[in-house]
């Protein structure tokens, strides 16, 4: 599921350095500034995942907006499930459209704007049950915009990084994203949430919590700009949008019918579907679980989020080298084991201290499993249908992503225990690990 920004760090530090990229039968160079700008989008986007989906708004919704925490958990899970279904069904089509039309930035800008707008409007969600539907609708729209934008963002990586460095750039992108999440969580905690905060936002009607949402939207807007200014886009193929949509459906149907030609990719996407559902569910309920089961207040949840983002960022950056050295498949397997063991422990412990220890341990492996998943597909997807493959990548991550949140929400509601509901997360990790055992090592595809 992420350095304060200086005036022009990318232009000053990266202008004269280039990274070689082999593409088909010719070599072209990508300025390091373009790659740094691409990674900065992770820095920008991570704020939505950290502050809206996990550590601030989700916990605020369950505790202060919903009728009670148990019902709020179920409602949040239902919303995330609906969003996941929409993303899963629409993602492959959007990816195929981009394959036909060529350019990715217009689509990326559209869905980035959708997410930013929905996030800013969460300011209007007050701590009252009458705002439940507004909260759920806006969070759903923001989630859809965020995930759709990542289809086109991820698909840009193989055109920017060389085959030999795609793993480390994928990992560095995740690491930068987690760093961005840490910085934004710190600003939210000490600037808005804590008593005596820097900006002195009133605490009536939870204004000090709600104000974090416009902050997150502005953060996303500012730090996504380097990508649009400095990272090159694929050229337009001159195909009108209507024709691209028609051809996209045909292309997608043909790919689904002939998926046996891409058997290795199909097995990988199936395995990823399982373990990514576990990650999505963990992100959706991490803050709610910390608040409900261990009684953490808003400040404590944010501090835990800061710690988790730090360990996740360090893990993503460190494992980036491992990805290029031993391959993304082995990195994913190692990471899944690293998620399963502390994940199971968290379901059993009752001590807040042990929750912190195992929770931060999980963070080390969250970034690598995400980054290496992206790296694996970037290495094996044929360039002619790469956008479509990343659309299927979104499909694998979202088609069944409603199952995890539904299970957590409704098992929690039925049992009255969040521990019972969260057990589904570890189960999904185990199933994903089993699936990855049948996935072959990645071999770069260039055509």
**pLDDT tens column, 279-336:** 877 776 777 788 777 888 778 888 888 888 788 777 877 776 777 788 888 889 999 9
Q: Which residue has the tokens 């009536």?
A: 204
pLDDT at 111: 96
| 181-191 residue pLDDT tens | 889 988 998 89
380-406 mean pLDDT: 69
pLDDT bucket at 129, cuts 50 / 70 / 90: very high
pLDDT at 3: 35
Using a 10 angstrom Cβ sphere, with 0-12 exposed, 13-18 middle and 19 or more buried, the burial of residue 348 is exposed
pLDDT at 18: 29
Which string of b and e fits 9-36 if b means at least 16 CB within 10 Å? ebeeebeeeebebeeeeeeeebbbbbbb
Helices and strands (DSSP H and E) totals, the chain = 17, 2
Separation CA 175–CA 311 (nearest Å): 10
365-380 mean pLDDT: 82
Contacts of 63 (CB under 8 A, 6+ apart): 69, 72, 291
Separation CA 396–CA 377 (nearest Å): 12
Superfamily of segment(s) 28-436: MFS general substrate transporter like domains (1.20.1250.20)
| 42-86 residue pLDDT tens | 899 988 988 998 888 988 998 899 988 878 878 887 888 788 778
407: left (phi over 0), alpha (psi -120 to 50) or beta: alpha
Whether residue 16 is predicted with pLDDT greater than 50 in this model: the reply is: no
331-356 mean pLDDT: 90
pLDDT at 279: 82
Phi, then psi, of 20 in degrees rounded to 5: -75, 140
Residue 328 vs residue 445, higher pLDDT: 328
Angle between helix 132-160 and helix 105-121 axes, rounded to 10 deg: 150
Residue 136 vs residue 409, higher pLDDT: 136
SS (H, E, C) the chain: CCCCCCCCHHHHHHCCCEEEEEECCEEEEEEHHHHHHHHHHHHHHHHHHHHHHHHCHHHHHHHHHCCCHHHHHHHHHHHHHHHHHHHHHHHHHHHHHHHHHCCCHHHHHHHHHHHHHHHHHHHHCCCCHHHHHHHHHHHHHHHHHHHHHHHHHHHHHHHHCCCCCHHHHHHHHHHHHHHHHHHHHHHHHHHHHCCCCCCCCCCHHHHHHHCHHHHHHHHHHHHHHHHHHHCCCCCCCCCCHHHHHHHHHHHHHHHHHCHHHHHHHHHHHHHHHHHHHHHHHHHHHHHHHHHHHCCCCHHHHHHHHHHHHHHHHHHHHHHHHHHHHHCHHHHHHHHHHHHHHHHHHHHHCCCHHHHHHHHHHHHHHHHHHHHHHHHHHHHHCCHHHHHHHHHHHHHHHHCCCCHHHHHHHHHHHHHCCHHHHHHHHHHHHHHHHHHHCCCCCCCCCCC
Residue 45 vs residue 419, higher pLDDT: 45
Separation CA 370–CA 434 (nearest Å): 17
Phi, then psi, of 401 in degrees rounded to 5: -70, -15
Return the minimum-mean-pLDDT range out of 21-30, 290-299, 342-351.
Answer: 21-30
Percentage of the chain exceeding pLDDT 70: 85
Report helix, strand or coil for 33: helix
How many CB atoms sit inside 10 A of residue 351's CB? Answer: 10
Question: What CA dihedral angle connects 300, 301, 302 and 308, to 10 degrees?
Answer: 110
Percentage of the chain exceeding pLDDT 90: 22
Question: Two tokens at 418?
Answer: 């969040």
Give residue limits of the domains in the chain: 28-436
Contacts of 25 (CB under 8 A, 6+ apart): none
Of 81-90, 105-114, 411-420, which has the strongest mean pLDDT? 105-114
pLDDT at 282: 79
Whether residue 200 is predicted with pLDDT greater than 60 in this model: the reply is: yes
Residues in the chain: 447
């Amino acid at each position: 599921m992420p350095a304060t920004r200086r005036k022009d760090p990318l232009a000053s530090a990266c202008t004269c350095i280039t990274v070689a990229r082999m593409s088909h039968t010719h070599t072209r160079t990508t300025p390091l500034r373009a790659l740094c700008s691409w990674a900065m989008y992770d820095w920008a986007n991570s704020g939505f995942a950290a502050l809206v989906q996990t550590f601030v708004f989700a916990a605020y919704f369950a505790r202060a907006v919903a009728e009670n925490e148990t019902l709020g958990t179920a409602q949040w899970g239902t919303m995330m499930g609906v969003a996941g279904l929409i993303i899963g069904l629409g993602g492959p089509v959007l990816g195929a459209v981009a394959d036909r039309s060529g350019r990715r930035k217009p689509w990326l800008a559209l869905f980035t704007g959708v997410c930013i707008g929905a996030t800013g409007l969460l300011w209007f969600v007050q701590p009252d049950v009458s705002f439940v539907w507004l909260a759920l609708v806006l969070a759903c729209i923001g989630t859809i915009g965020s995930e759709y934008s990542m289809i086109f963002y991820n698909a840009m990586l193989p055109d920017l990084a060389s085959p030999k460095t795609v793993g480390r750039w994928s990992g560095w992108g995740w690491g930068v994203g987690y760093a961005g999440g840490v910085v934004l969580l710190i600003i939210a905690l000490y600037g808005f949430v804590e008593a005596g905060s820097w900006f002195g936002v009133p605490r009536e009607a939870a204004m000090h919590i709600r104000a974090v949402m416009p902050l997150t939207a502005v953060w996303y807007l500012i730090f996504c700009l380097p990508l649009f200014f400095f990272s090159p886009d694929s050229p337009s193929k001159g195909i009108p949008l209507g024709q691209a949509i028609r051809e996209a459906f045909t292309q997608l149907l043909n790919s689904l019918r002939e998926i046996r030609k891409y058997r290795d990719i199909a097995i990988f996407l199936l395995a990823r579907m399982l373990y990514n559902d576990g990650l999505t569910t963990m992100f959706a309920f991490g803050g709610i679980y910390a608040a409900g089961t261990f009684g953490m207040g808003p400040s404590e949840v944010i501090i835990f989020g800061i710690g988790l983002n730090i360990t996740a960022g360090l893990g993503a950056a460190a494992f980036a080298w491992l990805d290029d050295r031993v391959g993304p498949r082995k990195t994913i397997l190692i990471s899944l084991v690293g998620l399963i063991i502390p994940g199971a422990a968290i379901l059993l412990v009752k001590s807040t201290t042990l929750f912190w220890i195992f929770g931060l341990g999980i963070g080390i492996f969250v970034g690598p499993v995400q980054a290496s998943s992206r790296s694996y597909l970037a290495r094996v997807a044929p360039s002619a249908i790469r956008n479509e493959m990343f659309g299927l990548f979104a499909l694998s991550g979202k088609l069944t992503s409603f199952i995890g949140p539904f299970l957590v929400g409704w098992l929690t509601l039925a049992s009255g225990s969040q521990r019972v509901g969260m057990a589904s997360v570890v189960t999904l990790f185990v199933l994903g690990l089993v699936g990855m055992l049948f996935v072959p090592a990645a071999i770069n595809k260039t055509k």
